[in-house]
């Protein structure tokens, strides 16, 4: 199947063509949303970070924002700041420029004299950018240009048995065809980190895998929490999970079985010459995990949920898959792919993996997902600590 | 009718996909071969059943990897869960 996408001036390839109205913090979020609603082709989201943060925490916010603007699905970005936030619009623009030279503009609410005065200028800028974006033509692209983010959330017993193994089969196919897959959710590696580490390309990658797990566990311990205790939960055990290793193996299965080539910290840009399976340090929390991978450059997301979730993203199509037949029928308006035939043996994991892969390619070529059509844009960001 | 799932051919446990009563036959695919095992006791849905004898001290394999260790002898068709499995990861805990 031929793939078509947008070749950006920075050399990356997008499968959607958004104008991003980027709020630098919560104070400019509603304003950014209003601007986006005035302009066809513009997207925005609520940004809960960007202010009242210590430097280490602020870095996650900057990486998310710069990464979103640099995401290949974005044609260009208009940064909307307040004026007094720690993530000043000028600082955010500089971070964006480190990653990409795509179209970029910015305005501050306080400088323009409030939201209504800013709206006039911003809508005019966004209108112009959207017209330019509409002139972009799709060209033939390769599956080697695709970076796919994997995620699981709202898990139940079927997640580790059907949905994630089917995703794993799909991930292996994409990697074998030369594409890139991101495995994330560091908290879900705990218990299976040595298995993951054994699949590392070299010693350096191996150490990084073990390090991000140790770092995350240490973070909880310093906050007085031990994530290994009581894990699997009584509910997990009632549902059939016996050990932590088993639970984690069920999670990491969605990344497939191939060699792990690189490990990225949250929201860092995946290098242009990297391919195959990579790991990104993200929380198990769905919205923030997906945001980190989008900031890394993922153009498409596949998300397994046993219990069902409507979650979307402002930048990329999110393909929902479930291994629970009941969930699929109950939430068919929000779920794109039914992996439950794997449980009944009606279809093999390999067959379903191939079907899912075909759906991924169709989505890359323009087919909209259910979350995308409904316009869901939930976004969150990883945190180092509380607000100041 | 398939009522269990063997995830990897190296696994020594299968997962039942509906509740199984004592003495009931479970059927699952091992690659392209269908296999059958008799359940020695009732197995709740999504719980594990041994597809070969697993002596005490031996490793439980699921997803092609070690998920724990048998704390006592488990027979073919036996229920495999917290009562006869110990985690390696949980060993180090206080």
Band of pLDDT at residue A373, cut at 50, 70 and 90 = very high
| Mean pLDDT confidence for A321-350 | 94
B44-78, pLDDT tens digit by residue? 999 999 999 999 999 999 999 999 999 999 999 99
Chain A residue with Cα closest to B79:
A240
Report the residue of B17, B27, B83 to disrupt the A interface, i.e. the one with the largest count of A CBs within 10 Å.
Answer: B17
A264-303, pLDDT tens digit by residue? 999 999 999 999 999 999 999 999 999 999 999 999 999 9
| Mean pLDDT confidence for A324-353 | 94
pLDDT at B94: 37
Would an 8 Å CB–CB cutoff place B20 in contact with chain A? no
Beta-carbon contacts of A100 under 8 Å, excluding residues fewer than 6 positions away, are A8, A10, A12, A69, A70
Chain B residue with Cα closest to A194:
B89
**Percentage, residues of chain A above pLDDT 70:** 100
A212 touches A186 (CB < 8 A)? yes
The complex scores an ipTM of: 0.95
CA atoms within 13 A on the CB side of A174: 35
CA atoms within 13 A on the CB side of A125: 21
A167-176, pLDDT tens digit by residue? 999 999 999 9
pLDDT at A344: 82
pLDDT at B91: 53
| pLDDT for residue B4 is more than 50 | yes
Would an 8 Å CB–CB cutoff place B87 in contact with chain A? yes
pLDDT at A1: 80
A365 touches A4 (CB < 8 A)? yes
Beta-carbon contacts of A50 under 8 Å, excluding residues fewer than 6 positions away, are A23, A24, A25, A26, A58, A61, A65, A85, A86, A87, A92
Q: How far is A179 from chain B (nearest CA, A)?
A: 24
Q: Which residues is A108 bridged to in the sheet?
A: A81
Would an 8 Å CB–CB cutoff place B70 in contact with chain A? no
| pLDDT for residue B33 is more than 50 | yes
Contacts of A250 in chain B (CB under 8 A): 63
DSSP H or E run through B27: strand B25-30
pLDDT at A227: 84
Q: Which of B17, B67, B82 sits opposite A245 (nearest CB)?
A: B67
A163 touches A157 (CB < 8 A)? no
Band of pLDDT at residue A42, cut at 50, 70 and 90 = very high
A292-320, pLDDT tens digit by residue? 999 999 999 999 999 999 999 999 999 99
A168 touches A254 (CB < 8 A)? yes
pLDDT at A345: 80
| pLDDT for residue B92 is more than 60 | no
- Per the listing, tokens 């004592």 go with B22
Chain A residue with Cα closest to B16:
A343
pLDDT at A230: 83
Band of pLDDT at residue B93, cut at 50, 70 and 90 = very low
- Per the listing, tokens 């070299």 go with A202
Q: Which of A242, A249, A253 sits opposite B81 (nearest CB)?
A: A242
Band of pLDDT at residue A323, cut at 50, 70 and 90 = very high
Inter-chain CB proximity A249 and B46 less than 8 Å: no
């Amino acid at each position: 199947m031929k793939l078509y996408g947008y070749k950006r001036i920075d050399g990356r390839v997008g499968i959607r063509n958004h104008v991003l109205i980027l709020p630098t913090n919560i104070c400019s979020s509603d304003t950014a949303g209003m601007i986006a609603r005035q302009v066809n082709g513009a997207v925005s989201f609520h940004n809960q970070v960007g202010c009242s943060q210590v430097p280490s925490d602020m870095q996650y916010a900057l990486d998310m924002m710069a990464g979103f603007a640099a995401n290949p699905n974005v044609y260009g970005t208009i940064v909307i700041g307040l004026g007094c936030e720690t993530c000043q619009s000028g600082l955010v623009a500089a971070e964006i420029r480190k990653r990409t030279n795509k179209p970029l503009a910015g305005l501050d609410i306080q400088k323009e004299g409030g939201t209504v005065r800013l709206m006039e200028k911003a809508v005019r800028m966004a209108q112009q950018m959207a017209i330019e974006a509409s002139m972009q033509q799709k060209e033939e692209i390769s599956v080697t240009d695709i970076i796919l983010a994997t995620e699981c959330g709202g898990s139940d017993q079927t997640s580790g048995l059907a949905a994630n193994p089917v995703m794993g089969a799909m991930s292996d196919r994409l990697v074998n065809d030369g594409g890139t897959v991101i495995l994330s959710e560091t908290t879900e590696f705990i218990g299976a980190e040595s298995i993951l580490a054994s699949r590392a390309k070299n010693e350096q990658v191996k150490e990084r895998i073990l390090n991000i797990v140790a770092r995350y566990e240490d973070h909880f311990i310093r906050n007085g929490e031990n994530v290994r205790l009581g894990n699997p939960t009584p509910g997990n055990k009632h549902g059939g999970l016996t050990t932590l290793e088993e639970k984690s193996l069920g999670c990491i299965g969605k990344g497939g079985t191939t060699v792990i080539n690189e490990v990225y910290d949250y929201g860092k840009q995946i290098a242009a010459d990297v391919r195959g399976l990579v790991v990104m340090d993200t929380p198990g929390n769905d919205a923030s995990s997906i945001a980190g991978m989008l900031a890394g450059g993922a153009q498409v997301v596949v998300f397994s949920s046993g219990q069902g979730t409507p979650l979307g993203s402002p930048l990329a199509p999110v393909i929902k898959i479930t291994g629970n037949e009941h969930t699929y029928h109950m939430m068919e308006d929000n779920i794109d792919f039914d992996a439950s035939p794997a449980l009944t043996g009606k279809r093999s994991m390999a067959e379903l993996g191939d079907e899912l892969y075909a759906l991924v390619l169709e989505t890359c070529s323009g087919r909209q997902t259910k979350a995308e059509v409904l316009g869901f844009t939930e976004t969150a960001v990883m945190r180092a600590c509380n607000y100041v | 009718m398939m009522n269990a799932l063997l995830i990897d051919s190296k696994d020594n446990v299968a997962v039942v996909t509906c509740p199984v009563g004592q003495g009931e036959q479970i059927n699952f695919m091992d690659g392209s071969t269908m296999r059958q095992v008799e359940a020695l006791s009732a197995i709740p849905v999504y719980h594990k059943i041994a597809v070969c004898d697993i002596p005490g001290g031996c490793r439980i394999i699921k997803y092609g990897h070690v998920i724990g260790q048998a704390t006592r002898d488990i027979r073919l068709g036996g229920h495999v869960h917290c009562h006869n499995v110990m985690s390696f990861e949980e060993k180090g805990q206080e």
